[in-house]
Amino acid sequence: MHVKDIMSSTVHSVQATDSIARAAQTMGDNDVGFLPVLDDRKIVGVVTDRDIAIRAVGAGVRTAEPVELIMTKNASTCSQDCDIEDALQIMASEQVRRLPVCSDGSDLIGVVALADAAGRDIDKREVAGTLKEICEPTEIHNQSRELA
């Protein structure tokens, strides 16, 4: 099975120059905790509700500042033709629960989540193993602003 078989093609996103407050509002309006950050249609990072809470609010960054100040840069992505098992491996190694899906030209075309894989007919032990690796404490996604 491929990522295109389970990904969501409805993706809410923000531009790198949008404010942190705009990102939070977009998350609230759409009941999501993850937004790809774009420059036009090209992905330049991702921002999560946790990034907003810790890297912005917790660090005293004004929410009028651009989201690019707190986003995670160099986010891992996958293609729509990526095998789900390969996508799970990327999630495990990067310790993320969601992967932006990009076209060959690097345009954002969807998002695949660990929950999408869990809801499909694949080996549940693989999804559980991926979640276990995601939850292992490491320095990969330290929430400090300097390491974003």
HSE (CB half, 13 Å, CA atoms) of 110? 19
Beta strand 34-39 pairing with 14-15? parallel
Does the pTM of the predicted model rise above 0.85?
no
Return the structure tokens found at 13: 């996103």
Span 56-105, pLDDT tens digits: 999 999 999 999 999 999 899 999 999 998 999 999 899 898 999 999 87
- The full set of domains in the chain, from first to last, is 3-136 (3.10.580.10)
Torsion angles phi and psi, residue 34, rounded to 5:
-150, 130
Span 14-41, pLDDT tens digits: 999 999 999 999 999 999 999 999 998 8
